[in-house]
């Protein structure tokens, strides 16, 4: 009897090993098929739209829209002006650039404290023509903050901007002008009324 029990036990173990191998194979196949299955389900349901432009899903090419944020049909000239109120060397690295409306542009400005003392300063922008103001969108600008420079210290800071495509068609040139001035410094006394 012990051999029959031993034979049944060996047969049961062999069946269990076979079942476990089949389950392992099915799990591996299912895991391997998940990526393309996921991509097809997302494409069919219209979810995960951030990656649809990168996928090569049949029938989806006609549904993916081209980027229409940049108006390549026209160019705008952006001129840069720098004015310093005080002992600063302040200038843009470029006097002008041309860009399409909707295109992101970066221009660096250079600063140098010409005094023999530490000074804090800030810049204020202005635009010409006036109607361009609402369409000139700065994403990053040194004018957002106040800066402190040691005597003779030089620095360079960026202006990152986009000209809105809704800018009126008759505007072909925008002038961005900055005035850089000392803040928190010594204020000269008011002139006296006596002569």
What would the mean pLDDT of 80-100 be, rounded to a whole number?
Answer: 88
In a domain, 195, yes or no: no
Range of the domain at 13: 2-51
State pTM to two decimals.
0.57
If asked whether residues 47 and 137 sit together in one domain, one would say: no
If asked whether residues 108 and 176 sit together in one domain, one would say: yes
If asked whether residues 37 and 98 sit together in one domain, one would say: no
The CATH number that applies at residue 154 is: 2.60.370.10
- What's the whole-number average pLDDT of the chain? 81
In a domain, 133, yes or no: yes
In a domain, 66, yes or no: no
In a domain, 136, yes or no: yes
In a domain, 83, yes or no: yes
Q: What is the pLDDT of residues 21-31, one digit of tens each?
A: 999 999 988 88
If asked whether residues 46 and 80 sit together in one domain, one would say: no
**For 70, how many CA atoms within 13 A lie in the half-sphere containing its CB?**
9
What would the mean pLDDT of 48-66 be, rounded to a whole number?
Answer: 48
Q: Please report the DSSP string for 92-130 in residue order.
A: ES-SEEEE-TT-EEEEEEEEEE-SSS-EEEEEEEEEESG
- Number of domains the chain is built from: 2
Tokens of 10: 């060996």
């Amino acid at each position: 009897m012990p051999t029959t029990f031993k034979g049944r036990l060996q047969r049961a173990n062999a069946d269990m090993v076979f079942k476990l191998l089949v389950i392992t194979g099915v799990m591996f196949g299912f895991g391997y098929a998940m990526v393309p299955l996921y991509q097809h389900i997302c494409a069919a349901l219209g979810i995960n739209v951030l990656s649809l432009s990168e996928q090569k899903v049949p029938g989806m090419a006609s549904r993916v829209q081209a980027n229409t944020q940049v108006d390549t049909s026209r160019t705008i000239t952006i001129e840069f002006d720098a004015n310093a109120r005080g002992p600063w060397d302040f200038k843009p690295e470029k006097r002008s650039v041309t860009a399409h409306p909707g295109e992101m542009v970066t221009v660096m400005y250079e600063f140098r404290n010409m005094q023999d003392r530490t000074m804090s300063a800030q810049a204020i922008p202005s635009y010409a023509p006036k109607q361009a103001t609402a369409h000139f969108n700065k994403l990053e600008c040194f004018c957002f903050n106040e800066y402190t420079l040691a005597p003779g210290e030089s620095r360079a800071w960026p202006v990152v901007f986009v000209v809105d495509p809704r800018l009126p068609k008759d505007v072909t040139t925008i002038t961005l002008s900055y005035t850089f001035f000392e803040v928190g410094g010594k204020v000269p006394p008011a002139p006296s009324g006596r002569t």
